[in-house]
Amino acid sequence: MRLFIAIRLSDEMKKELTGTLHELKKAGVSGKYVPVQNLHLTLAFIGEMESAEPVKEALRGIKYKSFRLSLSELSAFGDILHAGVKGNQGLSAAARAVREALDSAGIPYDRKKFVPHITLVRKAGGNWKRVPAPKGEMTVDKISLMKSQIKDGKPVYTEVFSV
């Protein structure tokens, strides 16, 4: 099963990002839009594992305090368009705690530098720079282990555990 650890977004945050997705479409931005129900902030991408149990066990021991998550500007990594997230100590500490727990348990994960963002459009084309940045804020008090599956040709993300 394909696994990742993420912050699931509040309904209010998803509503704000839905408005941004509509504005991007109106501006003629092409690409593969992320379905609203799949919007999230990844803390660690694990990939394929036989079982989620070792990851659940590793996550049981993490400690973090709830914190505020705030959206910032639209930007891109190559052809991946995303909503930025304002960095803060709470978010950095939570990401560090997750990654340290995975390291301690010997669970491999993508070790790219943590850059907080919410992917909106893959293979994006067109001028997105005139679309206003989304505004939104939420309190994070849960970190989720997510499973990614393809159903009817579409990715479906399901929470399998949370702390």
Q: What is the DSSP letter of 27?
A: T
Instruction: Name the β-bridge partners of 146.
Output: 4, 159
User: What's the predicted TM-score (pTM) here?
Assistant: 0.94
Whole domain around residue 37: which residue ranges? 2-162
Instruction: Name the β-bridge partners of 76.
Output: 81
Torsion angle defined by CA atoms of residues 38, 7, 44 and 20, in that order, rounded to the nearest 10 degrees: 50
Residue 96 maps to which CATH number? 3.90.1140.10
Q: How far is CA 67 from CA 89, 91, 105, 118, in A?
A: 8, 7, 25, 17
What total number of domains does the chain contain? 1
User: What pLDDT is recorded for position 87?
Assistant: 82
Torsion angle defined by CA atoms of residues 46, 93, 155 and 111, in that order, rounded to the nearest 10 degrees: -30
Residues of the chain with pLDDT under 50: none
